[in-house]
């Protein structure tokens, strides 16, 4: 099934890899393009509704905040024109993605560093919290923020809010929901690594894209914001451990809806679980994290091996009549290896 066109949705995608006066990065531009490509494909956004802003090279101190504001202005103009044309089906969702340098002075603060920053002018940054507060009053009832950047502590840097004219008495958009996904916890770094690719990738965006491409999809092919966040949290922990770095996903949802549907009709990723059984096994029962049974398989007399093909997720797998069970976190193996699970013993445990 192809993506349903979401012509009420818009996105601003920012990738800053080139910092002439600070340490440059390698992953943000390609990561930003990957997110934009998904939005224009399975995400269902018309290409003209996706504004991409990239750094241009070490000889340019761009982008700066004015360019980001102009990007928002373009989105607002398109959204306002859409609302006039289709007042009965108004604009719905805004995505904002940023990859580059960042820092935080407190838990609910994040400054996004622009390309013209230098050691004496680190405050050439966007105060993402102030932008989110202002955007809460701008048309879009559903807002998703994806930040692939460090959140190391720096009490000197506040960043600048938007220069849009606003009234402090103005209320938030009716039915507002804001979903925020941070690549790192407060005071943590966000890392990029080459891993198995020829160019470097942000660990957070790698986990994010896996989830959007099907790793976070339900068996019925639906990806929700809550499901995506849960997948990214688990997957990022594994990626960070494999790269011997410390990086923990953090997220926050404020507003009315806790489960925004990001895509449907997505082929969910699956993985084989290779189960070793006791010789007297008669049946395998698989329950999901909510305790619901999602798979049962009758085994033949004397059968000691079985293969289960499950969508990714948290499962408890039990063998009857012995009652031996194990809880596993089924994540992708990019080399296609099966997940080995030995239930031939007489105990239950968590994998």
Q: Does 214 or 168 have the greater pLDDT score?
A: 214
DSSP secondary structure, 271-327, as one string? EEEEEE--TT--EEEEEETTS-EEEEEE--TT--EEEEEEESEEEEEEEETT--EEE
pLDDT at residue 31 greater than cutoff 60: yes
CATH number corresponding to 9-263: 3.40.50.1460
Taking residues 84-112, what's their average pLDDT? 95
Give the per-residue pLDDT at 155: 93
Which of helix, strand or coil describes residue 264? coil
- Domain ranges in the chain are 9-263, 270-350
Mean pLDDT of 101-117: 96
Can you tell me whether residue 101 is helix, strand or coil?
Answer: coil
Strands (E), 149-269: 177-182, 192-193, 201-202, 223-224, 250-255, 261-263
CATH superfamily placement of domain 270-350: Immunoglobulins (2.60.40.10)
Distance CA 58, CA 198 (A): 21
Quote the pLDDT of residue 2: 46
How crowded is residue 83: how many other Cβ atoms within 10 Å of its Cβ? Answer: 14
Both tokens of 112, joined, read 């996004």
Whether residue 25 has pLDDT greater than 70: yes
The Cα–Cα gap between 153 and 201 comes to: 23
pLDDT, position 1: 41
Q: What is the pLDDT of residues 111-146, one digit of tens each?
A: 999 999 999 999 999 999 999 999 999 999 999 999
pLDDT at 339: 97
What's residue 206's pLDDT?
96
C-alpha distances in angstroms, 211 versus 33, 196, 221, 226, 236?
A: 16, 18, 12, 11, 11
């Amino acid at each position: 099934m192809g993506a349903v066109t979401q012509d009420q949705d818009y996105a601003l995608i920012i990738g800053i890899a080139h910092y002439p006066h600070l340490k440059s990065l390698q992953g943000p531009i390609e990561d930003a393009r990957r997110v934009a490509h998904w939005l224009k494909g399975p995400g269902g956004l018309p290409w003209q509704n996706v504004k991409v802003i990239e750094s241009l090279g070490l000889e340019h101190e761009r982008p700066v905040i004015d360019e980001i504001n102009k990007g928002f202005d373009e989105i607002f103009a398109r959204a306002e024109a859409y609302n006039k044309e289709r007042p009965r089906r108004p604009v719905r969702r805004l995505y904002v993605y940023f990859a580059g340098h960042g820092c935080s002075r407190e838990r609910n603060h994040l400054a996004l560093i622009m390309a013209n920053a230098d050691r004496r002018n680190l405050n050439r940054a966007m105060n993402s919290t102030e932008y989110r507060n202002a955007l809460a009053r701008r048309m879009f009832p559903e807002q998703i923020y994806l930040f692939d950047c460090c959140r190391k502590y720096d009490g000197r840097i506040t960043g600048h809010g938007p220069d849009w004219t606003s009234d402090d008495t103005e209320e938030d958009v009716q039915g507002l929901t804001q979903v925020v996904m941070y690549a790192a916890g407060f005071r943590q770094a966000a890392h990029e690594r080459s891993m198995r690719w020829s160019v470097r990738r942000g660990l957070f965006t790698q986990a994010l894209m896996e989830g959007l491409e099907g790793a976070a999809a339900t068996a019925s092919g639906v990806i929700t914001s809550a499901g995506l966040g849960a997948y990214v949290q688990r997957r990022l922990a594994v990626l960070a451990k494999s790269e011997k770095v410390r990086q923990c996903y953090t997220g926050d949802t404020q507003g009315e809806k806790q489960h925004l549907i990001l895509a449907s009709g997505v082929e969910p990723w699956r993985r084989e679980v290779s189960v070793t059984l006791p010789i007297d096994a008669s049946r395998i029962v698989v329950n999901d994290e909510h305790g619901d049974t999602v798979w049962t398989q009758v085994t033949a007399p004397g059968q000691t091996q079985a293969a289960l093909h499950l969508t990714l997720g948290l499962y408890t797998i039990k063998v009857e009549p012995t009652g031996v069970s194990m809880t596993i976190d089924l994540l992708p193996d990019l080399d296609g290896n099966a997940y080995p699970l030995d239930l031939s013993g007489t105990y239950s445990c968590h994998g």
